[in-house]
């Protein structure tokens, strides 16, 4: 007999300052190298999961509309992991919404699967600890492992073939450090043409720069940890810029190339460099999409936001503080434990 329940959770997206790009096992989403991120309180996903014996198949409602077959099938396969661990057989109704553009390079899959992991396990009355939640989230999206936690978060690549040690851990909540992320949205937040998952595989298989990229990550993580501990924004920003450029260099060298930059992306990068030359603490980073994320100090964030908003082609500017961990908003399941 299925154990039925319903739960709702919220999780924040995260932006990797030391990038995640490449997998050592694509089935288990095991990263080829570690990563280090900052959780953002302004980019949020809320997800409700309800297991229901009357359902014949899993249902996914995303941003108010029924999801397509591919997205629904991906979610159903992930839900099977929770069903197996929780000894639940019922199908689920999943309702998820983002307050920012989906699948456009703003880490929507990170917050989505982190919220889903917390809501689904609680709805199934399965009390996973934070490490297991991170593992489950990673199985949905590699970067989601980090969105279980708030503040600055490090993802371990792990060495085990089963992936149990490839989980994230919080390294600093950043509570006494007024660091902000200004996000310049380029192109109206339209969906990207090549998914991160497909692009990583293609880059690893064809780019002559890929192995050099992987080799650069451990040193960047160690340097980023030290910069965070010292509250050294300049050092952390330089590491973030270098990691992003190295990742995109490897992608650009793929054959055929993978190019997420648009002319507007380059224009925002140039504007950030100009701001920095004028004395502003501003450093850019980009993920698998055209948008530019700018790491800056709290007292400079408004000026940085105004400056990049004026760049032609920037359709929106988001402004985020450091975010907290995934949280349970509503728990209708019996005996569920909070993380």
Asked if 325 contacts 6 with a C-beta cutoff of 8 angstroms, the reply is no
Is the model more confident about 196 or about 54? 54
pLDDT value of position 187 = 78
Q: What is the average per-residue pLDDT within 62-67?
A: 93
Domains of the chain: 6-174 (3.30.230.10), 179-320 (3.30.70.890)
pLDDT value of position 106 = 65
pLDDT value of position 1 = 36
Tell me how far CA of residue 77 lies from CA of 95, 181, 267, 324, in angstroms.
Answer: 16, 34, 41, 28
Is the model more confident about 104 or about 174? 174
Q: What is the average per-residue pLDDT within 307-333?
A: 91
Q: What is the average per-residue pLDDT within 156-175?
A: 96
Q: Answer whether residue 62 shows pLDDT above 50.
A: yes
Q: What is the average per-residue pLDDT within 75-104?
A: 90
Q: What is the average per-residue pLDDT within 119-143?
A: 97
pLDDT in tens, 38-55: 999 999 999 999 999 999
Vertex 156 angle, CA 36 and 221, to 5°? 40
- Binned at pLDDT 50, 70 and 90, residue 160 comes out as very high
Give the burial string for 188-219 (b: 16+ CB within 10 Å, else e).
Answer: ebeebeeebeebbebbbeebebbeebbebbee
Average pLDDT, the chain: 93
pLDDT value of position 336 = 38
Q: What is the average per-residue pLDDT within 101-125?
A: 85
pLDDT in tens, 288-298: 989 999 999 99
Q: What is the average per-residue pLDDT within 76-81?
A: 98
pLDDT in tens, 169-193: 999 999 999 999 999 999 776 666 7
Return the SS3 of 151.
Answer: coil
Q: What is the average per-residue pLDDT within 18-29?
A: 94
pLDDT value of position 2 = 44
- Torsion angle, alpha carbons of 253, 254, 256, 260, to 10: -80
Measured CA to CA, the distance from residue 276 to residue 25 in angstroms comes to: 39
**What is the DSSP-derived secondary structure letter of residue 300?**
G
pLDDT value of position 4 = 72
Among 100-104, 249-253, 319-323, 325-329, the range scoring the smallest mean pLDDT is 100-104
């Amino acid at each position: 007999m299925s154990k039925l329940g319903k739960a709702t959770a919220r999780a924040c997206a995260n932006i990797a300052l030391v990038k995640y790009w490449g997998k050592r096992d694509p089935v288990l989403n095991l990263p080829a190298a570690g990563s280090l991120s900052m959780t953002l309180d302004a980019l949020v996903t809320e997800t409700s999961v309800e297991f229901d014996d009357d359902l014949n198949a899993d249902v996914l409602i995303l941003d108010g509309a029924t999801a397509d077959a591919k997205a629904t099938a991906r979610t159903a396969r992930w839900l099977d992991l929770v069903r197996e661990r929780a000894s639940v057989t019922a199908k689920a109704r999943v309702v998820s919404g983002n307050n920012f553009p989906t699948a456009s390079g703003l880490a929507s899959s990170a917050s989505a699967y982190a919220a889903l992991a917390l809501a689904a396990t609680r709805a199934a009355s399965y009390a996973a600890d934070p490490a297991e939640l991170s593992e489950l989230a990673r199985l949905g999206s590699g970067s989601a492992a980090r969105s279980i936690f708030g503040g600055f978060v490090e993802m371990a690549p792990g060495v085990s073939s089963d992936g149990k040690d490839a989980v994230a851990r919080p390294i600093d909540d950043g509570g006494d450090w007024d660091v902000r992320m200004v996000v310049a949205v380029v192109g109206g937040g339209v969906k990207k043409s090549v998914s991160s998952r497909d692009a990583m595989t293609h880059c690893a298989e064809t780019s002559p720069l890929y192995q050099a990229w992987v080799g650069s990550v451990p040193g960047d993580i160690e340097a980023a940890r030290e910069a965070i501990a010292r509250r050294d924004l300049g050092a952390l920003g330089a590491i973030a810029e270098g990691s992003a450029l190295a990742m995109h260099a490897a992608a650009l060298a793929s054959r055929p190339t993978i190019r997420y930059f648009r002319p507007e992306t380059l224009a925002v990068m140039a504007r950030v460099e100009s701001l920095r030359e004028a004395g502003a603490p501003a450093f850019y980073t980009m993920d698998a999409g055209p948008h530019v994320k700018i790491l800056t100090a709290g007292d400079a964030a408004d000026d940085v936001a105004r400056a990049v908003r004026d760049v032609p082609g920037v359709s929106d500017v988001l402004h985020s503080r450091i975010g907290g961990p995934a949280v349970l908003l509503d728990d209708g399941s019996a005996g569920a434990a909070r993380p």
